[in-house]
Amino acid sequence: MDRHTDSSLPNGAPAIRIEDLCRHYHMGETVIRAVDGVSLDVRGGAFVALLGSSGSGKSSVLNLIAGLDRPTSGNVLVQGRNLAQLSREELAKYRLHTVGMVFQSFNLIASMTLAENVELPMRFAEVDRAKRDGLTREALARVGLQARMNHRPSELSGGEQQRAALARALINRPQLLLADEPTGNLDSHTGTEIMNLIGEFNQQFGMTVVMVTHERALAERYAQRLIFLADGKLVGDEANAPAVAGFASQGEHR
C-alpha cells in the first residue's frame, strides 16, 4: 500500500478545492439550500473534520466531493480536475479509483460475505481475478478480520462491519478517504478503534481524509483542521493539534 505516498500530491498543495459551492433542493415552492456558497481548500494528506449540527449540510458537501452528487453551482476540483466537467462514466471511474467512502450505517451489501464485499470494487475496476483473492485477504487482515471473511455482515458487530467497510473503501488504493459519521452507530470503544484505523491510514499512507462528525471532541482528537458548517454555510475554520498526533502505531507496520 505504498502507492498512496508515491502518487499523492506533495504536502501543502490543495488536493481538494471547493469554489463557491451550492447545492439547492427544490421542494415544491420552497428551496432548501443544503449547501450555500462554501469555498474551501484542503491540502493533500490532511485530516479534516466537517462539523455542524444535524441538517447543516455536512453530508451534502461530502457527497459533492465524492462525485455522488452534482452541485447546483460552484466547483469541486480534486487534484486539479473539475468534477462538474466529468461525464457520468468518468465520475464513476473517479469514485472507483480516487475516492474511498465509509458511512455511518456501514453500507455493506447484506447478501454478500465480507470477502465478496471487499472484492466488489476490484470487480468494477476489472482487477485481475488471480490477484483479487490475495488483495482481499490482505485488506481484511489489515483491519483484523481475516478470520471472518466468509461471514455475512449480519453475523458481525457494528465495529467489525465498519472495519470491513474501511477495508472495502481502501481496496482500490484511493487518495481520498471520505467518512460520513463513521462512528455514529458505534459505542465509544469501537468508535476509537475505527478512528485509530482512519488516523493510521492518514498518517502512514498520506491519504487525505475528510470526516463528517457532529462530535467536536472526536474531531479534536484526530483532525488537523476543523471546519464548521451551519445552514449550508461555512461558519468556522480552525487549525487543530490532534491529541493523537504522531500515531503510536506509526512505523510499526512494514
Ligand X SMILES: Nc1ncnc2c1ncn2[C@@H]1O[C@H](COP(=O)(O)OP(=O)(O)O)[C@@H](O)[C@H]1O
Q: Contact positions toward ligand X, by CB under 6 A?
A: 25, 27, 32, 34, 52, 54-60
Is residue 93 a contact point for another protein (CB under 8 A)?
A: yes
User: What are the cell numbers at 165?
Assistant: 467497510
Nearer to Mg ion, 14 or 100 (CB): 100
Residue 174 and residue 223: Cα distance in Å, rounded? 19
Burial letters 127-150, b for 16+ CB under 10 A, else e: eeeeebeebbeebbebbebeebbe
Alpha helices in 46-187 (DSSP H): 58-66, 88-97, 114-124, 129-142, 158-170
Q: What's the min distance (Å) between Cβ of 142 and Mg ion?
A: 27
Work out what residue 56 binds among Mg ion, ligand X, another protein, none; the CB cut-off runs from 5 to 8 Å by kind: ligand X
Is residue 169 a contact point for another protein (CB under 8 A)?
A: yes
Is residue 196 a contact point for another protein (CB under 8 A)?
A: no
Nearer to Mg ion, 56 or 98 (CB): 56
Is residue 222 a contact point for another protein (CB under 8 A)?
A: no
Nearer to ligand X, 52 or 242 (CB): 52
Residue 62's closest CA among 38, 45, 44? 38
Residue 50 and residue 35: Cα distance in Å, rounded? 13
Find the binder of another protein among 43, 168, 221, 225 (CB under 8 A): 168
Nearer to ligand X, 68 or 141 (CB): 68
Tell me which stretch binds another protein (CB under 8 A): 6-14, 63-71, 228-236, 237-245: 63-71
Work out what residue 136 binds among ligand X, another protein, Mg ion, none; the CB cut-off runs from 5 to 8 Å by kind: none
Is residue 79 a contact point for another protein (CB under 8 A)?
A: no
User: What are the cell numbers at 85?
Assistant: 466537467
Residue 8's closest CA among 165, 198, 202, 211? 202
- Residue 19, amino acid: E
Q: Which residue has 443544503 as its cell numbers?
A: 34
Site residues (CB under 5 A) for Mg ion?
Answer: 59
Residue 207 and residue 46: Cα distance in Å, rounded? 7
Q: What's the min distance (Å) between Cβ of 30 and Mg ion?
A: 20
Residue 212's closest CA among 65, 38, 84? 65
Q: What's the min distance (Å) between Cβ of 59 and Mg ion?
A: 3
Chain residues that interact with another protein, rule: CB under 8 A: 63, 66, 68-69, 88-89, 92-93, 95-97, 99, 101, 103, 105, 107-112, 120-121, 123-126, 129, 168-169, 172
